[in-house]
């Protein structure tokens, strides 16, 4: 009887480690599979926009598939820069967009290509010459880039966008004189955004 009790006790001790060894293990915490399962929302702050005349910006992305995110964002600049009375320049804007990105590997990792439907109210001039233009633009922005994975909650997102569409505009001879030189509706193709962005992943 005593030997049987000792045998059962030893069997119980051995059964625990064996059961743990046979239990299926989940992906390691830092693996690509774990990031893919966990990552759903990302909030972006583009440092390049801040460096361009102090443009405040924010963007939000949401993963809807292993290879797709949808998002929305905004940029805002209401600053006028003047170092002499007759030397003024600005790139004032309020920009709003919705769009999507395709990620060949999985969301928030590596190469991506994207598109945005975008509206912009703008007033820019004095940067490359005295000519100034203001208006309301609507168009499609296309771009691509690469997201560098720093850790499980942070990427550095690099990219370039260009856009085209239609704008209703008024043009002026200089940023401060108010002398109109033209107005109307026209098509345009322009650079849109340079991205060196901190991407916080949740």
In this prediction, residue 23 has a pLDDT band, given cuts at 50, 70 and 90, of very low
Quick check: 196 pLDDT over 60?
A: yes
Distances (CA, A) of 171 to 53, 86, 95, 175, 183: 21, 18, 19, 10, 6
Quick check: 9 pLDDT over 80?
A: no
Structure tokens at 36: 């893919």
pLDDT value for 20: 41
Percentage, residues of the chain above pLDDT 70: 79
Q: Which residue has the tokens 């060949």?
A: 104
pLDDT value for 174: 86
- pTM score of the predicted model: 0.78
Higher pLDDT residue, 19 or 165? 165
Query: What pLDDT digit, counting tens, does each position of 93-137 carry?
Result: 999 999 999 999 999 999 999 999 999 999 998 888 889 999 999
Higher pLDDT residue, 183 or 16? 183
Average pLDDT, the chain: 85
Q: Rounded CA gap, 27 and 154, in Å?
A: 19
Please give, one letter per residue, the 3-state secondary structure of 59-106. EEEEEEECCEEEEEEEEEECCEEEEECCEEEEEEEEEEEEEEEECCCE
DSSP 187: E
Q: Which of 170, 172, 166, 169 lies closest to 188 in space, CA to CA? A: 166
Q: Rounded CA gap, 114 and 144, in Å?
A: 6
User: What is the average pLDDT across 141-160?
Assistant: 96
Q: Which of 163, 58, 156, 166 lies closest to 114 in space, CA to CA? A: 163
Q: Which of 80, 97, 98 lies closest to 89 in space, CA to CA? A: 80
Query: What pLDDT digit, counting tens, does each position of 50-84 carry?
Result: 999 999 999 999 999 999 999 999 999 998 887 66
**Domain residue spans in the chain?**
34-201
Largest CA distance in the chain: 109
Q: What is the CA radius of gyration of the chain?
A: 27
Enter the CATH code of domain 34-201: 2.40.160
């Amino acid at each position: 009887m005593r030997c049987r009790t000792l045998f059962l006790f030893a069997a119980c001790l051995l059964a625990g480690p064996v059961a743990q060894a046979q239990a299926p293990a989940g992906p390691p915490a830092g693996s690509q599979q774990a990031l893919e399962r966990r990552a759903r929302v990302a909030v972006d702050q583009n440092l390049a926009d801040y460096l361009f005349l102090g443009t405040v910006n924010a963007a939000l992305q949401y993963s809807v598939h292993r290879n797709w995110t949808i998002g929305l964002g905004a940029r805002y600049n209401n600053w006028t820069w003047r170092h002499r009375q007759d030397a003024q320049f600005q790139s004032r804007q309020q920009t709003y967009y919705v769009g999507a990105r395709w990620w060949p590997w999985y969301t928030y990792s590596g190469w991506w290509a994207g598109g945005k439907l975008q509206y912009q109210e703008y007033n820019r001039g004095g940067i490359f010459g005295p000519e100034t233009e203001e208006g309301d633009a609507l168009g499609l922005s296309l771009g691509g880039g690469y997201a560098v994975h720093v850790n499980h909650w942070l990427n550095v997102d690099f990219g370039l966008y260009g856009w085209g569409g239609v704008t209703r505009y008024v043009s002026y001879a200089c940023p401060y004189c108010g002398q109109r030189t033209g107005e109307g509706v026209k098509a345009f193709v322009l650079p849109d955004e340079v991205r060196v962005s901190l991407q916080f992943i949740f």
